[in-house]
A and B are shown apart, each in its own frame.
Chain A
Amino acid sequence: MTRAGIQRLLITAAAVLALEASCRLGYVGRATMIPPSEMLAELVRLMGTDGFWSQIGFTLRNILAAAAAAMVAGFAGGVALHALPRVRRAVEPLIASYYALPFFVLYPLFIVLLGMNALPIIAMGFLYAVMAMVTATLSGLDRIPPVLRKVGRTYRLDRVQDALLIQLPAAGPHIFTGVKLALSYSVTGVIGAEFILAGSGLGYSIAFAYNNLQDRTMYALLLFVVVFVSSLTVLLHWAEQRVRHRSGAGRVGAARDTAGAGEKLVAAAVIALLILGGWQLFHGLAGDEALASPAVTLNRMTVLFGNPSFWENVAETAKALGLSLLISCIGGGLAGVLIGANRALSDVLEPLFVTLYAIPKVTLYPVILLLFGLGMPAKVAFGTLHGFIPMMLVTMGAIRAMNPVLRRSARAMRLTRMQMLTAVLVPATVPEIVTGLRISFSITLLGVMVGEMFASKRGLGFMIMNGISVNDTATMMSVTVLIGLFALAVNSALLALDNRMHRVA
């Protein structure tokens, strides 16, 4: 094991011991959390019971099905978008906003279309994972050095040979990252969907234990999720490093958007019409009970706009989002700069944060509720839980990837540490920081929505959850569409800024 690996193990062990001590000494109340040793003992007991492994088996099967479908569809989607640059430019803001959308609103639709079985859960996992595979495939294809395509032509390879012998292996490491993400996002999507909506599986068991005040069982199952996801993440990370190390991936920068405004508008209009057409089609197949039509949704929107309580909910969500973004972006960015500036420290901490972030956050909502109670602090905690780590990781990566000669120049100019930070490190990484802001915005918005759905009686997320429980599909869809449009608008602006920054840099 490497030195950094040993240090990571020691940090993890110290954190577990500190939690154990806090619980035992009463700094953390028994009503809030039980000591890790008791979680483990309870988990061992649960493993000997009848129902445990059948629930795990059900969840694992769903995860694998969702991941496999997402890998195949995501790869095909990525290849198709790469071959159609105009379509890609048009859908880029949609892709960037994708993870801000609360997919759970589509669950009733899936039940009507796919039946009361595991398929709607698999569909949730699939939706969560597929875009990660699409973007990783695109990123891999973008990074194939043009000279390799020329080499293929000198050997007179046909299109299929070129794809199989050159393009696929050249893009392989990035596509493997997509496979890794698809698997870990499937875990999040499936366990999250089971937690919120289903009647079986690991996620459901956690929700059931929480709702029936079985805290010991709940924490034991959460421990299982944490250990399972951590092991999976470490394994995938190791495999990814091996693939990347061998192939020396990422030698060429990614393609950046250079389309004209007119072309974008036309393409956006075509995409919007396609989405509306698809929506109307699904409405026709599933009916009002599962999915409100676009017309009914629009009508409900106008009613909502005239309703003062809607605006109170908007203000509530805006406040929670603003606070979460402030903490995520400034805190995450600052932490990223400070940790990234120290290579040894970031070597140790980065994989820990990556693993921590892979835990399905929805399942942590009972812990957040026990710590913060219902209301604004819990929502902000949820938003921050989602957005902080991505912002920190992107900033850390940017600092680490900075041209070393800039740092040496700063030292040659005898800048102080603070001058180096403000005059060199931060300006050199501004384009990546903007990318981090863009990613963090979408995920924080989703976190706030999920927080409002479970930890609040106010806000737009609560309106969606309320819509699900009373089967008011029109309100559910209206709020979802408005959130989607808001995410799309902000993401388009940030994407434009991102592209501009990377062109200048």
Chain B
Amino acid sequence: MRGLSSERAPAPQDPAGASHPAHPIPFGRAPSSNGLAAGAHAVMTGVTRVFGSAVHALGPVDLELRRGEFFSIVGPSGCGKSTLLDVLAGLSSPTDGTITFEGKRVRGTVPDGVGVVFQEDASFPWLTVRDNIGFGLRRAGFRGPEAEERVRHAIDFMGLNDFAGAYPNQLSGGMRQRVCIARTLVMRPRLVLLDEPFGALDQQTRLLMGDELLRLWRASGATVLLITHALDEAAMLSDRIGVMSSRPGRFIEIVETGWPRDRTSAIAAEPAFGEVTTRLWNTLREESLKAMASQRRVAG
């Protein structure tokens, strides 16, 4: 059995684009800026977040993201998953504790090398698909043939060729989310944070988007942190899954899946996949009941 093992399966020698050889690789490998060996890429130590004086949303949380891994976080509604992502991204400051990314402290601003994809549709409605995807590149001073090539490859890779000149309101929800993912990944971030990016999509589209995400992850070599409420999604995509408690959110278990790096959504058919989701649900069920009870108390 591969699932639930404590040791990770060895990564293939050349994983990039292995399952989709027909597509070019638009995002390239994330450059390792500081020469760190494989190991801790981002670290949260004793991080808490309290809103006002009464709402203790998160923590204390300790988390070490390994370079190049795919880590997912699941937890009951309102447990502070998105708060954790905001704090790690530098979109908000922790009340207590420290966060480092590639050895440098993160404090209230998004560090270079970090990309974020949000749950809501964050495409710019006034820009075409092509201009949306190229937004960050232009901002970073990339112009000319290199920038155009990166955008063109990203459009091709995401299957948006027929819509490059379209505006977001002419696209489906899934295509808009692909635009947002491409806009983030075309910057070649070394750490990609995804906050329930497929939350608003139907199940089939989610499975397909999950495959695309895996493909991108392999192609880029980036570290990925995915927040999701879908246990099957977490089980299918991740190397490790952190299960959070009800509010204030803390990690109550870290599950190692042990999947090979070149996995796809077809892994959902394997018996080990069922074991992972069952284990996640067993841990989460009680916490979800607690969260519902506390919501009822608030509503009452």
The yes or no answer to B217 lying at the interface (CB within 8 A) is no
The yes or no answer to A148 lying at the interface (CB within 8 A) is yes
Q: How far is the CB of B62 from chain A (nearest CB, A)?
A: 25
Q: Is the CB of B110 within 8 A of A154?
A: yes
Q: Is the CB of B89 within 8 A of A155?
A: no
Interface stretch, picked from B18-26, B117-125, B150-158, is B117-125
- Measured in the bound complex, the distance between the Cα atoms of B109 and A75 in whole Å is 30
Q: Is the CB of A248 within 8 A of B169?
A: yes
Q: Is the CB of A151 within 8 A of B169?
A: no
B124: chain A residues within 8 A (beta carbon): 148, 166, 169-170
- Measured in the bound complex, the distance between the Cα atoms of B126 and A245 in whole Å is 10
Among A245, A247, A249, find the residue whose CB has the most chain B CB atoms closer than 10 A: A247
The yes or no answer to B116 lying at the interface (CB within 8 A) is yes
Q: Is the CB of B168 within 8 A of A248?
A: yes
B126: chain A residues within 8 A (beta carbon): 169-170, 172, 246-247
Main secondary structure of the interface of B (DSSP, over half): loop
Q: Is the CB of B125 within 8 A of A246?
A: yes
The yes or no answer to B91 lying at the interface (CB within 8 A) is yes
A165: chain B residues within 8 A (beta carbon): 135, 139
A113-169 interface with B by 8 A CB criterion: 145, 147-148, 150-151, 153-157, 161, 165-166, 169
A155: chain B residues within 8 A (beta carbon): 110, 135-136, 139
Among B109, B115, B121, B125, find the residue whose CB has the most chain A CB atoms closer than 10 A: B125
A172: chain B residues within 8 A (beta carbon): 126
Contact with A along B124-141 (1 / 0, CB 8 A): 111100000001100100
A152-211 interface with B by 8 A CB criterion: 153-157, 161, 165-166, 169-170, 172
- Measured in the bound complex, the distance between the Cα atoms of B90 and A156 in whole Å is 11
The yes or no answer to B114 lying at the interface (CB within 8 A) is yes
Q: Is the CB of B167 within 8 A of A246?
A: yes
Q: How far is the CB of A50 from chain B (nearest CB, A)?
A: 48
Q: Is the CB of A247 within 8 A of B116?
A: no
Q: Is the CB of A154 within 8 A of B115?
A: yes
Q: Is the CB of A153 within 8 A of B110?
A: yes
B122: chain A residues within 8 A (beta carbon): 145, 147-148, 150-151
Name the CB-closest residue of A to B110.
A154
Q: How far is the CB of A80 from chain B (nearest CB, A)?
A: 24
* Sampled A-B contacts (22; CB under 8 Å): A147-B121, A148-B122, A148-B124, A150-B116, A150-B118, A151-B116, A151-B122, A154-B89, A155-B110, A155-B136, A156-B110, A165-B135, A169-B126, A169-B127, A170-B124, A172-B126, A246-B125, A246-B126, A246-B167, A247-B169, A248-B168, A248-B169
- Measured in the bound complex, the distance between the Cα atoms of B127 and A170 in whole Å is 10
A166: chain B residues within 8 A (beta carbon): 124
- Measured in the bound complex, the distance between the Cα atoms of B119 and A147 in whole Å is 9
- Measured in the bound complex, the distance between the Cα atoms of B120 and A273 in whole Å is 44
Among B110, B112, B120, B167, find the residue whose CB has the most chain A CB atoms closer than 10 A: B120
- A147 in contact with B125 given A154-B115, A156-B109, A247-B169 (CB within 8 Å): no
A355-375 interface with B by 8 A CB criterion: none
- Measured in the bound complex, the distance between the Cα atoms of B168 and A145 in whole Å is 15
Q: Is the CB of A147 within 8 A of B120?
A: yes
Residue among B127, B139, B169 making CB contact with A245, cutoff 8 Å = B169
- Measured in the bound complex, the distance between the Cα atoms of B190 and A474 in whole Å is 72
- A248 in contact with B115 given A153-B91, A154-B91, A155-B135 (CB within 8 Å): no
Q: Is the CB of A247 within 8 A of B136?
A: no
B58-117 interface with A by 8 A CB criterion: 89, 91, 109-110, 112, 114-116
Residue among B91, B125, B136, B139 making CB contact with A150, cutoff 8 Å = B91
Among B89, B115, B118, find the residue whose CB has the most chain A CB atoms closer than 10 A: B118
- Measured in the bound complex, the distance between the Cα atoms of B167 and A249 in whole Å is 12
Q: How far is the CB of B159 from chain A (nearest CB, A)?
A: 22
- Measured in the bound complex, the distance between the Cα atoms of B184 and A148 in whole Å is 13
- Measured in the bound complex, the distance between the Cα atoms of B126 and A75 in whole Å is 20
Q: Is the CB of B139 within 8 A of A151?
A: no
Q: Is the CB of A157 within 8 A of B139?
A: yes
Q: How far is the CB of A163 from chain B (nearest CB, A)?
A: 14
Q: Is the CB of A151 within 8 A of B110?
A: no
Residue among B110, B118, B167, B169 making CB contact with A147, cutoff 8 Å = B118
- A151 in contact with B118 given A156-B109, A157-B139, A247-B167 (CB within 8 Å): yes
A231-256 interface with B by 8 A CB criterion: 245-249, 251
Q: How far is the CB of A144 from chain B (nearest CB, A)?
A: 11
Q: Is the CB of A249 within 8 A of B89?
A: no
Residue among A147, A151, A154 making CB contact with B114, cutoff 8 Å = A154
Q: How far is the CB of A165 from chain B (nearest CB, A)?
A: 8
B121: chain A residues within 8 A (beta carbon): 145, 147, 251
B89: chain A residues within 8 A (beta carbon): 154
Q: Which 6 A-B pairs have the closest CB atoms?
A: A248-B169, A247-B125, A147-B120, A169-B126, A147-B122, A248-B125
A169: chain B residues within 8 A (beta carbon): 124, 126-127
B116: chain A residues within 8 A (beta carbon): 150-151, 154
A251: chain B residues within 8 A (beta carbon): 121
Contact with B along A244-288 (1 / 0, CB 8 A): 011111010000000000000000000000000000000000000
A157: chain B residues within 8 A (beta carbon): 139
B238-261 interface with A by 8 A CB criterion: none
- Measured in the bound complex, the distance between the Cα atoms of B149 and A306 in whole Å is 82
